[in-house]
Structure 1
Amino acid sequence: MGFLRTILIIVLVYYLLKILGRLFAPQLFRYAAKKTEKHFRERFGGFTDFDTANSDREGDVIIKEKQSKKPSSDSKEKVGEYIDFEEIE
């Protein structure tokens, strides 16, 4: 009798938690999303879109070129040795 009572209590607690989870999970996730958004806004709030203040019109194409670095003499150095592979039949 005690064994059946224990099984019944476990099953009832499982279904109760399942029902409560369905009721409160959306609010819990909403709360977690708001806290995460707040955290990211505080941490990365200074990184906004810089081009919005300087943009002329929507649809304009603006090409910004980076300053090209002159190739240094170090790039001409030999990096490794060449290995020629042959097929074996």
Structure 2
Amino acid sequence: QDYEGELRVYVVDDGSANRDVVGPVHKIYANDARFSIILLARNVGKRKAQIAAIRGSSGDLVLNVDSDTILAADVVTKLAAKMRDPDIGAAM
């Protein structure tokens, strides 16, 4: 991402059955302070997984994406710019 502000990424593993496969990926990002890996004990559904990430966050803006989402490099910058307008409550 080309966003110049502080950026945090919260990855929620919603009780995946293949943790042995994704475990090495978790370990790669575990040492990067920008990333928080949240491992849920069981699958609780998308909404509750998102809530787990939001509760762990401390930023002013939240961007929810799915595991198969590919973001253009300027998406966060564009959304943050839109959200600076006090008349805007959400942006897509």
- TM-score interval, normalised by the smaller of the two chains: under 0.3
Q: Which protein has the bigger helix share?
A: 1
TM-score with structure 2 length normalisation?
A: 0.20
Larger relative contact order (C-alpha < 8 A, sep ≥ 6)? 2
TM-score with structure 1 length normalisation?
A: 0.20
Rg bigger for which structure? 1
Q: Which protein has the bigger strand share?
A: 2
